[in-house]
Homo-oligomer: A and B are copies of this chain.
Amino acid sequence: MRLPIATPAEIDIALVGVPFDGGTTNRTGARHGPREIRNQSSLTRRVHHVGLTSPFDLVRVADCGDAPVNPVDKEESLASIAGFFEAIRDGGAIPLTAGGDHLITLPVLRGLHRGAPRSLIHFDAHTDTYDEIFGTKYNHGTPFRRAVEEGLLDPKRMVQIGLRGAISDAANYDFARAAGIRMIFIEELMARGVAEVMAEAREIAGTGETYVSFDIDVIDPAFAPGTGTPEIGGITTFQAQALVRELAGVDIVGADLVEVSPPLDPSGLTALTGATMMFELLCVMAEAAERRRS
């Protein structure tokens, strides 16, 4: 978004890239997401057309560059990403992150962790609460289970929106059900509508510190084809924008947008969608940051 480069201590919201997809079990490419999202963000502008305010007028926003990662060493990357976000947290900034695959949310949450587990509002076609895939516990299908186990998130204050797609085993949802995670499938979202579902989501998240994770594959692949695990029957971008705008009032302490995979996105539409959704997230985060500051 043609932003200045700055350090966390000088700003309220830090835009960060995490170019890592070493947690992807099938079609990779999300490591190139931050670069393309930055490229496409050259098409975005300052002022939201609905509220007619600009996040850049509300708070201090800057691009803090990419978190350090090692594309061929997953353990090292998990550690270095966490360290990077710890520094952001300690600097007093709130991160808005462009992934990378969904595994990156785990080290982000670790880095941002401070005492109590957070609430989570999670937009995704998939639950990402598997225990293991291919016998490994750390991949892009497991981050939210690990985060619950590690006390980073409070499952009772977690809501997942837009879920769909065939699964390998009917038991896949058992963990979430037992833990109290609220799963809102696409059928329920379409039937009840954005406003009603998001009212419930805000209630679940409560007034506490909340993390927002937006997997681009919650959006239908007609609108966002460039992602590793597309599921047909998703939401439109119009609905996606409405969902994010309904986050107004939530105490957001961090957000990410993940799984944009440029090699699978020859037209650039997915990166443009990612950049625009990040602008929407930025707008609600700026309001939250402003509230915190005052």
B49 engages A167 (CB within 8 Å): yes
Give the CA-CA distance A276 to B267 in the complex, in Å. 22
Interface string of A250-272 (1 = CB under 8 A from B): 00000000000001101101001
Give the CA-CA distance A190 to B233 in the complex, in Å. 16
A70 engages B135 (CB within 8 Å): yes
Expressed in whole angstroms, the minimum distance between the Cβ of A59 and any Cβ of chain B is 17
Closest residue of chain B to A36 (Cβ to Cβ) is: B39
Give the CA-CA distance A249 to B50 in the complex, in Å. 32
A272 engages B164 (CB within 8 Å): no
Label chain A's interface by main secondary structure: loop
Give the CA-CA distance A134 to B22 in the complex, in Å. 14
Please judge, given known A-B contacts A138-B72, A190-B238, A232-B223, whether A53 and B170 are in contact too, CB under 8 Å. yes
Among B53, B166, B186, the residue within 8 A (CB) of A48 is: B166
Residues in B with CB closer than 8 Å to A64 are none
Closest residue of chain B to A25 (Cβ to Cβ) is: B71
Please judge, given known A-B contacts A28-B29, A166-B48, whether A269 and B236 are in contact too, CB under 8 Å. no
A27 engages B22 (CB within 8 Å): no
Residues in B with CB closer than 8 Å to A53 are 170
A47 engages B168 (CB within 8 Å): yes
B222 engages A46 (CB within 8 Å): no
B223 engages A54 (CB within 8 Å): no
Please judge, given known A-B contacts A21-B28, A269-B222, whether A49 and B166 are in contact too, CB under 8 Å. yes
Instruction: Please tell me if A129 contacts chain B, counting CB pairs below 8 Å.
Output: no
A136 engages B221 (CB within 8 Å): no
Expressed in whole angstroms, the minimum distance between the Cβ of A22 and any Cβ of chain B is 7
Interface string of A96-139 (1 = CB under 8 A from B): 00000000000000000000000000000000000001111011
Give the CA-CA distance A279 to B164 in the complex, in Å. 14
Residues in B with CB closer than 8 Å to A31 are 28
Among B45, B168, B267, B272, the residue within 8 A (CB) of A167 is: B45
Residues in B with CB closer than 8 Å to A267 are 225, 264, 266
B223 engages A237 (CB within 8 Å): no
Closest 9 CB pairs of A and B: A232-B237, A45-B166, A28-B28, A222-B223, A233-B238, A263-B263, A72-B139, A222-B222, A52-B170
Instruction: Enumerate chain A interface residues (CB-CB to B < 8 A).
Output: 21-29, 31-32, 35, 39, 43-50, 52-54, 70-74, 76, 133-136, 138-139, 163-170, 172-173, 185-187, 190, 220-223, 225, 229-234, 236-238, 240-241, 263-264, 266-267, 269, 272-273, 276, 279
Q: A49-B164, A221-B272, A222-B223 are in contact. List 14 more A-B contacts (CB 8 A).
A: A21-B28, A25-B71, A28-B29, A28-B31, A47-B170, A70-B135, A73-B74, A166-B276, A190-B238, A221-B269, A222-B237, A223-B232, A232-B273, A233-B236
